[in-house]
Structure 1
Amino acid sequence: MKNASLIMIIGPLFLLGLFAFPLWNIMLGAPQYPDPLGMNIHISGIEGVSEFDLQNIDGLNHYIGMKTIPKSGEMWEFDVFPKVIIGMMILGVLIGLLGFFGKLDFKWFLGWFVLMSVLGVLGMYDFNAWLTDYGSNLDPHAIIKVVNEDGTPMTYKPPLLGYQKMLNFDVTSLPSIGAYMMFVGMSLTLLASYMGWKSKGTKVKQQSKEVLAA
């Protein structure tokens, strides 16, 4: 159980990578932009891949009526998400320490993994809702108005995951380093749960043998 607990302590520490690296990346390529424009989405804000990327993206968005890219203080998520990540990191390490000293069993490791998974799904849902609003809630007085074949206004929602063609832009949306680090950390806690379960099973078998031998 001690080895499982050590892994449980290490796993949540990978969440700290979200403060150093972006969680998600969206790239926009077009013939007029030999170097694609990009956004790195962090848990505390959005940054351009290159120095003037956000400025150029906002300039393009203005013509089709999209809102400007929100700054850190303009979305509650950028204030709440860092606190949630720190809270989950501390909770995970605490559970691992208590497990190391025999105060908790592997079920708590699994519980942390499930809770973090639920929070991750809710975060993705919120992210997708923001993308939908960002690409659909357009200014009716925009300079350029593009409509679908049925006459309804075209939406410019970037894909949540993968590739999409939007007018003459090739848009790609993929997880970035922070997301991969979070995935590794969560995988370690799942491994710790499995090791703790195996350790408990081995201990029960050993105790049964001792009882029979007595």
Structure 2
Amino acid sequence: MRRISIKGIIGLIVSGGLFLASIYLPWWALRLTAPQYKEGLYIWVYPYKLEGEINIINSLNHYIGMENFDEASFPELAYLPYIIGVVALITMVVALIRSRKILAVWTGIVMILAVVGIYDIYHWLSTFGKNLDPAAPIEIEPFIPPIIGTNQLANFETLSFFSYGAILVGTAICLLLLVLWMGKERYE
């Protein structure tokens, strides 16, 4: 295999920078709207913290028997920024090594990590939606909120979506794939 071109090196360095920048932005969000909350209640999930109207959402979730959301509930938040930092660093090291074989292996590893991350979101949505307290004031069927999209639950509509940080990660992964596909040196 040919070596990574100068343009490919720049693409990989940008990719690593996007991974790093994503740490400071929310990756996923949930908005709850209802007649009494027309402006919406949000949970913003960063790689290291939760933000939003979490206390209000927890008090509402109490009525259906859902456990409280808090940062302690998600152990990934303690180490995910470090994983992302290592991904960014290795991406930049691959750029300096200039080996397309190493880039191919690294891109595969990053793709696997992305799939594991999406599964992790699904796992937590499933855990919180299916493990409802049967003694809750309002009895509903267990459910799994969608990772992306809307869901109706009583008078609440939920909207789940990937946010700015996930868009940066997606762009960084696309750059890895683009450099792998097109970023080789040309020999005359």
TM-score calculated relative to the size of structure 2: 0.91
Q: Aligned AA for 1:175?
A: F
Please show how residues 129-144 of structure 1 align to structure 2 within 5 Å.
Answer: 129-144=123-138
Runs of 4+ in 1 over 4 A off after TM superposition: none
Which residue of structure 2 lines up, in the alignment, with residue 151 of structure 1? none
Secondary structure, aligned partner of 1:64: coil
Q: CA deviation at 1:12?
A: 1.6
Which residue of structure 2 lines up, in the alignment, with residue 181 of structure 1? 168
Which residue of structure 2 lines up, in the alignment, with residue 54 of structure 1? 54
- 1: CA distance between counterparts of 2:84 and 2:133? 35
Which residue of structure 2 lines up, in the alignment, with residue 160 of structure 1? 147
Root-mean-square deviation (CA, aligned residues, Å) is 1.4
Please show how residues 29-68 of structure 1 align to structure 2 within 5 Å.
Answer: 29-48=33-52, 53-68=53-68
The answer as to whether partners of 2:48 and 2:77 remain within 8 angstroms in 1 is yes
Q: 1:18 pairs with 7, 22, 29, which one?
A: 22
- 2: CA distance between counterparts of 1:177 and 1:186? 14
What percentage of residue pairs aligned between the two structures are identical? 29
CA distances 1:119-159 after superposition (whole Å, capped 9, x unpaired)? 0101111110111111110112211113xxxxxxx124321
More helix by share: 1
Q: Aligned AA for 1:182?
A: V
Does structure 1 residue 111 correspond to structure 2 residue 105? yes
Q: 2:183 pairs with 196, 201, 205, which one?
A: 196
Unaligned runs of 5+ in 1: 100-104, 147-153, 207-214
The answer as to whether partners of 2:23 and 2:84 remain within 8 angstroms in 1 is no
Structure of higher CA gyration radius:
1
Deviation larger for 74-83 or 118-127: 74-83
Q: Aligned AA for 1:98?
A: I
Number of matched residues?
A: 184
Change (3 A) 1:170 1:74: closer
